[in-house]
Structure 1
Amino acid sequence: MKSFKLVLLYSVLICSITNCASQKFEKETPFGIADVYIQHWNSGVKMGGSGTNIFMELKENLPNHVTLDSIYFDNYQLKLNQDGHNPLLFVGRHIESSKRHNGPVNALNDQKSISKAQAIASKFKLENNECVVQFTDASKVKYFKHDALYKKETPLVPQAKPNRQ
C-alpha cells in the first residue's frame, strides 16, 4: 500500500510538470493585436525606483466572451490591465523600488493596477522578441505566443532642482 501511494505521488508530480512544459499555443486569437512593446523607466528622483511596463495595443475591442489575463516575457508574468484613457490599450507593470528605501514606494505595490512579477523560468522558453498572452475565451484559459515584441527607448525624465524658499 505504501509503494502504491509513492507511485501515485510520483505520477501526479510528473503529470503536473509535463503539463506546464507542453502548453499548447493558439494559432490565432479572437482579437487582433496591433502592437506589443516593453518600456523600462526610471523615476528620475534619488531612491525613487524604476520598473518595466509592457504595452499591448489591440486592433479592435475585445469580444464579450474574451478577457485578457496576463502576459509572460523575459522571466516575468504580469497582470494585464486596461488603460483608463484608451480601451484598446492593455498595460502590465513591474516596479522595482529603491533598495535603500522601504517607505511610500513600496505602498505603490499594493495598488491593483501594479502587479508583482513572478518568476516563470520553467513555464515557457521564450526568445527576446517573444511573449505569451494568457486570455480566457468562454471560461477556458488559452495561450498565444506573439513573436514581434520589441523595446522602446526609456523616456527621459528631466531632473530639476527643488525650489527652495
Structure 2
Amino acid sequence: MKWFSYIFFSLIFTLSSCSSQKTFVKEAPFTTGDVTCQYWAGGRAESGSGTKLKIPVGQLDKEGVTFAQAFFRGKVADLKMVKNSDEMYAEANFSNKMDKPDIVMHADPKKEVGNKPPKLQKENPFELSENECVISYTENGELKYLKIDNVKELKPKMYQ
C-alpha cells in the first residue's frame, strides 16, 4: 500500500509541473502593425552584427502594460519602446557581437583567480518558425506572451 501511495503522489507531482508551460494570449491590449526584421552588420569586425526586430504598437488600451522581451530565431532580447514622429515601436536588437574577454592562463591556478566564467545565453523556450516571434509583456503585474506571425524581412543594412 505504501508503494502505491508513493507512486501516486510522484505521478501527481510530475504531471502538475506540466501546467507551468507558457501559453499565448488570444487578444492583446494593443495592436501590432507589420512586424519587420532587418539584418545589420557594422563596418568593422569589432562592431559586430545582428538582427533588429521592429514591432509597430498602436492603440494601447491600458496603462499598466510594459513590454519585456522578444523571442525570435532562437534568441532572446529585451524590448525597448521608441517613438518616431507619431508612431510607437517596440524594438529588439539581437546582437551577434563577438566579445572575447581577456583571460589569464597560467600554470599557477592562483593567478587565474580574476577570470570570470562566460555568461550563458538565455534560451528560447518557444518552438518558432523563421518568420514567427513572441513578445512578452506585463499587464497589471501578470506576465503574458503574444505570438506574432508573418515577420517580414527587409534588405540587410551594411554600415561603413
Compute the TM-score of the two structures, normalised by the length of structure 2.
0.70
Rate the CA distance shift 1:72–1:15 in 2: closer, same or farther, 3 A: farther
Q: Which residue matches 2:30?
A: 31
Residue 27 of structure 1, CA deviation: 1.1
The reply on whether 1:148 has 2:139 as its aligned counterpart is no
Distance in 1 between the 2:92 and 2:16 partners?
30
- How far apart, CA to CA, are the structure 2 residues paired with 1:9 and 1:80? 39
Match of 2:141 among 139, 142, 146: 139
1:37-52 alignment, distance < 5 Å: 37-52=36-51
Gaps of 5+ in 1: 103-115, 159-165
Distance 1:117 1:63 in 2: 32
Structure 1 residues 46, 58: closer, same or farther in 2, change over 3 A?
A: same
Query: Is 1:36–1:55's contact at 8 Å kept on the other side of the alignment?
Result: yes
RMSD: 3.0
Out of 117, 120, 123, the position equivalent to 1:119 is: 123
In structure 2, relative to structure 1, the CA distance for the partners of 1:151 and 1:16 (3 Å cut) is farther
Larger radius of gyration: 2
Pairwise CA distance, 1:88? 0.7
Aligned residues: 141
Listed one character per residue, the Cα deviations across residues 128-147 of structure 1 (whole Å, up to 9, x for unaligned) are 22111111111111111111
Q: 1:153 to 1:6 in 2, by over 3 A?
A: farther
Mapped to 1, the partners of 2:77 and 2:121 lie a distance apart of 6
> How many angstroms apart in 1 are the aligned matches of 2:155 and 2:12?
47
The aligned counterpart of 1:19 is 20
Kindly, what percent of the aligned residue pairs are identical?
22
Could you tell me how far apart the structure 1 residues matched to 2:80 and 2:14 are? Answer: 33
The structure 1 segments of at least 4 consecutive aligned residues displaced by more than 3 Å after TM superposition are 4-18, 84-87, 98-102
TM-score between both structures, scaled by the size of structure 1: 0.68
CA contact (8 A) 1:40 1:53 kept: yes
In the aligned structure 1, how far is the partner of 2:35 from the partner of 2:135? Answer: 10
How far is 1:6 from its partner?
9.8
Distance 1:48 1:18, change over 3 A: same
| 1:154, distance to aligned residue in structure 2 (A) | 1.0
Structure 2: stretches of 5+ with no match in the other structure: 103-119
